[in-house]
Amino acid sequence: MATTLRTRRESRQAAPGGRAKTKSSYPYWFYLPAAVVYTVLFVVPTLTSFYFSLTRWTLFDMEFIGLENFVEFFEEPALVTGLKNTLIYGVVTSGLKVVLGLLLAVLLTSQVIARGYLRSVVFFPVLVSTIGVGFTFTALMDPEVGLINESLALIGIDGPSWLTDPSIALLSVALVDVWKGVGLATVIYIAGIVSIPREYFEAAQVDGASAFKRFRHVILPLARPATTTVIILSLIGGLRSFDLIWAMTRGGPGFTSDVIASVIYKQYQAGFYGLSTAGNVVLFVLVTAIIIPLWRFLNRKGVDL
């Protein structure tokens, strides 16, 4: 009796193990191509960049100088502005994408006319090249002959110098970033809202909840996974943002819209390779230091719910 029991238990235990074995019937070398690509293109450069950040190198030779690059990088006057601007840019773009993305998603999951068409319109800017968007908006935002200020002039408003006024240049670029990126946030939210079971809405309706209350107490909490994704994605995107800023202001006027990535690029351009490598290591650490705790925090909330 005991033996049969034991064998039965053993066989039951063996079963999942056996299934696991058949699951991994792919030979390990199937992983090889991916591993090679990942190692060559990501792991090796990352590790070598840690080393090169400790040297002063040109394309022809190098000299080991310890942590001097990091000291110099943190003494860089443009860095303080760069750091501040990076955070402003990341938070502003990410925040606006969450708010606008959610509102647009609510609109586009309701029974609005031409819903499919509107959804594609909202998503369309995501597909356009960032550099193209940057150049287009640079022309539109020209203070003298740009379409935006000419339109404002028609209704009697004297538009600001969007990209050349040091106090608003960064925000102007951030707005364009939001215009370009909000489509992706919207799509993620649409997926999140559509996956909320209908029963919740019906139950809320039976209880006499108003449209706002349904939004506040059903959509908002149950779309939290979507919010997490949008925040993480857009914050990472915002913190390491470079292409749009470079296309529109090149960090200018002067250094007033420089972000860390453009500071690093300028250093690279100037031939300060070691210094710019150190800058990249700093950016890597900064993004990691912000994103990992944030991700944990947002996900823990998700589990609590």
Partner 1 sequence: MWSATAAARSRISAAAMLVASLALAGCGGSSSGEAGEVTLEFLVDNQPTTVAIAEGLAADYHKQHPKVTIEVETRPQGGDGDNVVKTRLATGEMADVFLYNTGSLLQALNPEETLVPVEEPVVGRLDDSFTQTVTAGDQVYGAPIGFAMGGGVLYNEAVYDELKLDVPKTWDEFMANNAKVKAAGTAAPVAQTYRETWTAQLFLLGDYHNVQKAEPNFAQDYTAGDTGFGTSEAADDGFEHLQEVHSAGYLNKDFASSDYNDGIRMIAKGEAAHYPMLTDAIMEVAASYPKDLDDLGFFALPGDDADSAGLTVWTSSGLYIPTTTEDEELEAAEDFRSFVASKAGCASQARATTPGGPFMVEGCELPDDVPGAVKDLESYFDQEGATTPALEFLSPIKGPALEHICVEVGSGIRSAQDGAALYDEDVEKQAQQLGLEGW
Q: What are the residues binding partner 1 (CB under 8 A)?
A: 27, 29, 33, 56, 58-60, 63, 72, 77-78, 142-144, 161, 163-166, 250-256, 266, 268-272, 274-275
Compute CA 140 distance to the chain's CA centroid, rounded to the nearest angstrom: 25
Rounded CA-CA distance 91/70 in Å is 26
159 — phi, psi (to 5°)? Answer: -65, 150
269/247 Cα distance (integer angstroms): 15
Give the separation between CA 227 and CA 243, rounded to whole angstroms.
25
Quick one: DSSP state of residue 165? S
Closer residue to partner 1 in complex, CB, 134/192: 134
CB of 251 to partner 1, least distance (A): 7
Closer to partner 1 at the Cβ: 75 or 304?
Answer: 75
End-to-end CA distance of the chain: 47
Q: 78 vs 230, which CB is nearer to partner 1? A: 78
Q: Which is nearer to partner 1, 2 or 145 (CB)?
A: 145
CB of 301 to partner 1, least distance (A): 42
- Going by the DSSP 8-state scheme, the letter that residue 56 receives in this structure is E
CB 23, min distance to partner 1, A: 16
Measured from the CB atom, is 271 or 302 closer to partner 1? Answer: 271
Instruction: Give the sign of the dihedral formed by CA 52, CA 54, CA 55, CA 56.
Output: positive
Between 140 and 232, name the residue whose CB sits nearer to partner 1.
Answer: 140
Cα separation of 35 and 205, whole Å?
52
How far apart are alpha carbons 257 and 78 in whole angstroms? 10
Least spacing, CB of residue 58 vs partner 1, in Å: 7
Residue type, 245: I
3-state secondary structure of 161: coil
Q: Which of 237, 235, 137, 118 is nearest to 179 (CA)?
A: 137
Nearer to partner 1, 72 or 177 (CB): 72
Considering the complex, what minimum distance in angstroms separates the CB of residue 142 from partner 1? 6
Shortest distance, CB of residue 156 to partner 1, whole angstroms?
A: 20
- Distance CA(94)–CA(169), nearest Å, equals 18
CB of 88 to partner 1, least distance (A): 18
